[in-house]
Amino acid sequence: MPLKPRPRNIPKIPGAVRLYKISAYVTGVMLLLLVFEMVIKYTPLATEMAIGDARGFFVPRGTIAGGAFDLSLGILIAHGWLYVVYLFTDFRLWSIMRWPFSRFILIALGGVVPLMSFFVERRMAQIALSEYENLQADRASVQAAAA
């Protein structure tokens, strides 16, 4: 029998879902930026993105001027840290909902497979909110029967 959320955690579900949805979208967008950055860097284009370089926004790989900001590196670092936040929100939702570990892994993969976070986020949010509504209905029927 699958585990259900603890009664004290039921009110936390909508907030956990909202935080998870935000982090999933942000992580998904950053992952798409990272894929774009890797394509322009490691294909024959051999280009990096820089802010403040006199030659423009796109410069040949490995030639970013000393005073310029390496946007390619910034995207890599930002995605890494935002993925950590995504994993935290994944863990929070997973632990509140008391889902199987396989679901935690599936959600975590959403942050490393391009475009997957958008699809996984939609499905997991639907599942969590559906379970929340069922729990609320069960709670209301128990309270009505007790009255």
Domains in the chain: boundaries: 12-142
pLDDT for the residue numbered 15: 97
pLDDT for the residue numbered 121: 95
pLDDT for the residue numbered 57: 80
pLDDT for the residue numbered 143: 83
pLDDT in tens, the chain (147 residues): 678 999 999 999 999 999 999 999 999 999 999 999 999 888 888 888 888 887 888 888 888 878 888 888 999 999 999 999 999 999 999 999 999 999 999 999 988 999 999 999 999 999 999 999 999 998 888 888 876
pLDDT for the residue numbered 78: 95
Q: What's at 91, amino acid-wise? A: F
Whether 16 contacts 96, CB under 8 Å: yes
Closest by alpha carbon to 93, among 3, 16, 10? 16
**What pairs with residue 50 in β-bridges?**
70
pLDDT for the residue numbered 1: 60
**What pairs with residue 70 in β-bridges?**
50
Whether 20 contacts 90, CB under 8 Å: yes
**Residue 126 burial (CB count, 10 A):** 11
